[in-house]
């Protein structure tokens, strides 16, 4: 879809030719003046409305996020955030503030998406049960053929592991360095998969692919220290993101799953 058409649909003025932006693994992203337009040729129903809800939840928690100017099934129009200097300590405080927003139950009342993968709506009070049944097993079933012989031991591990819980907090849900913007107004978060979960989910993703320097971690832990049992479980929590990468990008991520199982002496 021509991004200018989406601006017209929401009554917003187009400004020049669309400029492609990076970060379009799950769709197409352009800048048009003060706006960022995201579309997808065949988005799953609810994808962009879920993103808008997530950005609104981040903003309500005191986290800088792009303003939503318009959203529909075909795409979303956001404010363009001009780049600024890196402030990793500020980002640490931002994420700590996000993780201070407590909830009554795990999950979300409406579906959320991890990339284009739809996760079921619903909430629960038991973390291990919710995490395994509503988050991990849907991904395992979607990747079972690619997992091959890994599927059975992985499922046993997911059900047997003692998942530490500190209580439900608001999480970004897909917090890798590509979903961080160092804007002129300070650190901002984009492309959320927001729900109430254990903060270990975010911490695991931030550790999985790197990109967060010591200044971030020092600042974050000064505000919200991480207990040893949570730190020790982060590789297990990374299985969530490794599975979605297997789903979208294939068998090259199976080695990461094997490493996690071996790390916990589980084969």
Looking at the chain, which runs of residues are DSSP E strands?
19-20, 28-32, 35-39, 68-72, 75-79, 106-108, 112-114, 117-119, 122-124, 169-171, 180-183, 186-189, 195-197
CA dihedral (208, 212, 217, 219) positive or negative: negative
Closest by CA to 39, choosing from 51, 48, 31, is 48
> Could you give phi then psi for residue 31, rounded to 5 degrees?
-105, 135
* Choice among 2, 25, 174, 202 that is catalytic: 174
In the annotation, is 174 catalytic? yes
The full length of the chain comes to 267
What distance in Å separates the CA atoms of residue 13 and residue 34, rounded to the nearest whole number? 10
Running DSSP on this structure, what letter comes out for residue 179? G
Nearest partner of 23 among 174, 235, 217, judged by Cα: 174
Would you tell me the crossing angle of helices 214-223 and 88-98 to the nearest 10 degrees?
40
Residue 25 pairs with which residues in a beta bridge?
none
* Catalytic residue annotation: 174
């Amino acid at each position: 879809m021509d991004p200018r058409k989406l601006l017209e649909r929401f009554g917003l003025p187009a400004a020049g030719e669309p400029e492609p932006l990076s970060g379009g693994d799950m769709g197409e992203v352009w800048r048009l003046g003060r706006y960022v337009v995201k579309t997808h040729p065949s988005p799953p129903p609810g994808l962009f409305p879920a993103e808008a809800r997530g950005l609104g939840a981040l903003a309500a928690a005191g986290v800088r996020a792009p303003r939503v100017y318009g959203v529909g099934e075909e795409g979303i129009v956001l404010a363009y955030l001009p780049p600024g200097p890196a402030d990793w300590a500020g980002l640490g405080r931002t994420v700590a503030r996000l993780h201070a927003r407590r909830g009554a139950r795990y999950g979300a009342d409406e579906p959320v998406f991890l990339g284009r993968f739809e996760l079921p709506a619903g909430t629960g009070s038991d973390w291990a049960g919710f995490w395994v049944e509503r988050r991990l097993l849907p991904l395992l079933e979607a990747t079972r053929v690619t997992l091959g012989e890994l599927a059975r031991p992985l499922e046993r591990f997911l059900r047997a592991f003692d998942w530490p819980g500190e209580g439900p907090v608001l999480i970004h849900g897909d917090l890798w360095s590509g979903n961080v913007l160092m804007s002129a107004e300070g650190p901002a978060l984009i492309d959320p998969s927001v729900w109430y979960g254990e903060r270990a989910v975010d911490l695991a993703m931030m550790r999985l692919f790197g990109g967060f320097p010591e200044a971030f971690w020092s600042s974050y832990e000064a505000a919200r220290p991480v207990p040893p049992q949570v730190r020790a479980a982060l590789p297990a929590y990374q299985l969530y993101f490794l599975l979605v990468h297997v789903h979208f990008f294939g068998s090259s991520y199976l080695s990461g799953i094997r490493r996690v199982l071996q790390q916990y002496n589980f084969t």
